[in-house]
Structures are given as structure tokens and as C-alpha cells.
Structure 1
Amino acid sequence: MANRKQKSVKESFTTMTELVLPNDTNTMNNLMGGRLMHWLDIVSAISAQKHSNRIVVTASVDNISFKQSIKLGNVITMEAQVTRSFNTSMEVHVNVWAEDIPSGTKTKSNEAFLTFVALDQTGSPIDVPEALPETDKEISLYEGALRRRQLRLVLAGRMKPHEAKELKSIFNLDEKVPE
């Protein structure tokens, strides 16, 4: 990594705001999950592009939990930032806030991690700058990114559990498994 360019993660910070309109909602006047996932993909891709200065493609989306329903007329603010980069991929963290402006309430409704791969002009993966965290929150997200990456790779079948050194406690790799 010594010869990779370095870039502060704060340079990738991206904010996107949307108004929940009738076409965005289900029959209960709540924001449709698919619409939110679409917006999450956009704001995260922009963040990854800012970090890599490249076109990016979505490689994975971690669990998206809906903590709070988002209602018709709410204003949605999504804040995305790269947490860590690997060779050609970047993990992006997104927070979603739903605001009911007339009532003056603002609630955190969602949080998600997405992974993107940077591409060159021919569509092949290309190296990205090393991500440099600075604040305590950025450092915490950076440190957890390797565990999340290894879990994604194990779940996708691209890594064996015993190879995921950061996940020993989850998989009880130190214990002998009876045969």
C-alpha cells in the first residue's frame, strides 16, 4: 500500500436530499423500500466516485434495516462517506434521516454499508487511493470495515471461514469442531 495514493475519507462525504412524493410510496403512504435502495445506491456511488475519481459499480449491499417508516411528505437526507478502501473496492457508509418539516421532527431511519469497485476506461477494475480516517468515528468505521468485508466474502463463498482472520470470534475458529 505504500505506493498507493492516499486520500482523506472526508473528501468523499456526500449529502443527497429527496422529498417523498406520492409516486415514491406504497398504499400505506410509506416510502417504498426499493425507492430508498435506489437513492442509497446513487448517493453511495457518488461518494465512491469522489474518493476514486473513477466510474464505479455496485459490488454489494449489506443489510438494510428499516428502523422507522418514512412517510409521504418527509424530506430524506442521506449522508454517505467512504469508510475504507482495499485494492480496487471501497466500502461506503450511509446514514438516512427522515424529517417531517411541519412538525419539526427529524429521525434516523436507516443505516447501510455498500461496496463499490472502481473501473478504468475499458471496464476493468483499477486501484483506488488508500482511505485515511481522521476523526474517532471515521477510525471506528475504518477498523470495522475489514471484518465487514471478510463477512461479505465468506457469505458470498469467495472466502473460507478459516481464512477470515478478523472473524474468529464469530465462527469460533479457535475451538475444535467435533467431527
Structure 2
Amino acid sequence: MNNIRNKLKNLSNNRLIDVVKNYRQYGYPEEYRILAIDILNNRGVDEMTLKLRGQFDNQIYREAQDSYNSFRRNSRIAFILYLVSIFFLLILPFFLDDLFSTLLILLCCLGYLTFIILSFINQSNFYKSIGKNQMAENPILFLLLGMPLYFLVYFYVKRKMTDQLKIIE
């Protein structure tokens, strides 16, 4: 830890402030941030000053990260329900009676639709938080293409959002 403290001491105040504000983006642990705050405190830049200047926390990144995490959770559930629905559509009608299999398929499809809509809302919130209006203008197209091709759309959108998250300032 002393080695890290010495490295941080060699940084300018602006770089230390950047570490305090963007430590999550850089993949630094919370300890780096605490050390940077301590060093800045010793140099006469206190925590309250950082907060008043808006340099204590990267609010945009935090909001985007929250939306991204919600998107990943909801889209993962939607993806699983998508696969289960496809499986049930192909297999269940041959093994179960019509009413039960129809109800099970309908339940899975409704769950899938619910979670794909939730993931779309999370995706829209993500792009709003970073100042881009990526998918908000075309939800109908997203749903129409996203439903039958969800196995492709899921991985593409997730990768694109991950890339966008990395470049937030």
C-alpha cells in the first residue's frame, strides 16, 4: 500500500482529482480513492471543496452504471425466457396436452416480453444518462427486430453499451 501511496503522491492535484472522481472507470479499488483524497487533504484540497466543484464523484458514470447493471440483469432474464420459450414452442406440444403447454408457453412469452421491455427502458435510461438518444427514437423497430432476433440483438447491444460505459468522462 505504501508503494501505491508514493505513486499517488507523485501525481499532480488535477490527476489526483481525476482518480477521486473516476476511480471506478479506471478499475481502481476504493482504497486508491481514499488515498488520493487523503493526499489532496494534505495539500489543502478538502473533500467539501471537491464536492462543491463537482469533482468528488462522476455522477454521469454512476447513473450510467446503474442503468447498465439493470439492463444486464433484465436482459439476461429476458434472454433466458427467450430460450425457454423457443424450447417450449418446439418441444412441449409433442409431450403435453394442448391447454397446459399453451399456458406454459404463453406464460414464458409474457415474461419474456415484460423483461425485454424493462431492458429497453434500462437501455434508454443508460443513453439518456450519457447524453445520447441512441434507441429512444425507435422502440417499435427494436421490439419487432429484437423479438425474433433477440439472440443476436442481446449480445450486440450489451457490447455496445459496455463500450460506451468505458468512454464516459
State the TM-score bracket (shorter-chain normalisation).
under 0.3
Q: Write 1 or 2 for the structure with the bigger share of helix.
A: 2
Scaled by the length of structure 1, the TM-score of the pair is 0.24
Q: Write 1 or 2 for the structure with the bigger share of strand.
A: 1
- Computing the radius of gyration over CA atoms, which structure comes out larger, 1 or 2? 2
